[in-house]
């Protein structure tokens, strides 16, 4: 007896027993419509193509829903970034203590830029470890109107002069006072950092107390 004919698309009964609990796509014996098999208790259960079609439809709906939700969350993140210009950023001191400071920022999409003095503790911390955590939010009269962002990210000092110039112009738009000559903020005294998010948590109490949506970048 032909094993592959009696057990659709299976190389051997032993191989099937190792795949317990998996779904296998295949064509039924003798051709015809496709279906899938459920490996259960070491054996194959054939499921007709009508159920397979339903499975495909469900997977298509889940992909569409995921794309829609991804676009909606990204839009919300960008809206919050555009509505603010101050963030709290935490860096790691050499002794291991986290250090949280408030800085101004500008953003291009999900990429953030901020500047600080070259001899600041932040700059020293980031020279040793570029990992940061940050929050962007504001106070609201109603607790259930609370929204904000928190991010796990990496912050690198800009070495490219063109990117540094672009970042500075973006910061000057958000902070017009930076357009005036300030000796203490000369290129010799400052560093501009690029912040690249790795994980973003979107806080939105309107969806429920403490509700967050997590985005991996």
pTM higher than 0.75, yes or no? no
Q: With a cut of 60, say whether residue 108 has pLDDT above it.
A: yes
The winner for highest mean pLDDT among 58-67, 79-88, 203-212 is 79-88
| pLDDT given for residue 17 in this prediction | 44
Q: Which residues pair with 111 in a beta bridge?
A: 108
Per-residue pLDDT tens digits for 168-180 = 899 989 988 777 7
Which residue bears the tokens 């990117």? 163
Residue predicted with more confidence, 37 or 184: 184
- Domain 80-216, classified CATH 3.40.50.720, yes or no: no
Coil, strand, or helix at residue 44? Answer: strand
Cα-Cα end-to-end distance for the chain: 53
Domain boundaries, the chain: 3-47, 80-216
SS3 content of the chain, % helix, strand, coil (to 5): 35, 35, 30
């Amino acid at each position: 007896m032909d094993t592959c004919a009696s057990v659709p698309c299976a190389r051997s009964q032993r191989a099937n027993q190792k795949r317990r609990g998996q779904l296998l796509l295949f064509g039924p014996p003798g051709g015809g419509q496709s279906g899938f098999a459920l490996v259960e208790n070491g054996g194959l259960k054939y499921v007709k193509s009508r159920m397979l079609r339903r499975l495909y439809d469900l997977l298509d709906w889940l992909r569409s829903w995921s794309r829609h939700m991804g676009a909606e969350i990204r839009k919300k993140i960008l809206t919050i970034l555009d509505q603010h210009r101050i963030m709290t950023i935490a860096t790691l001191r050499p002794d291991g203590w986290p250090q949280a400071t408030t800085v101004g920022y500008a953003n291009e999409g999900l990429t953030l830029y901020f500047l600080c003095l070259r001899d600041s503790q932040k700059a020293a911390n980031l020279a040793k470890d570029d990992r940061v955590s940050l929050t962007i939010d504001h106070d609201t009269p109603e607790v259930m109107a609370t929204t904000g962002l928190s991010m796990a990210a990496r912050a690198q000092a800009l070495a490219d002069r063109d990117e540094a110039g672009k970042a500075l112009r973006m910061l000057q738009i958000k902070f017009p006072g930076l357009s005036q000559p300030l000796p203490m903020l000369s290129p010799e005294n400052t560093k501009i950092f690029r912040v690249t998010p790795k994980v973003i948590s979107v806080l939105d109490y309107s969806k429920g107390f403490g509700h967050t949506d997590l985005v991996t970048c």
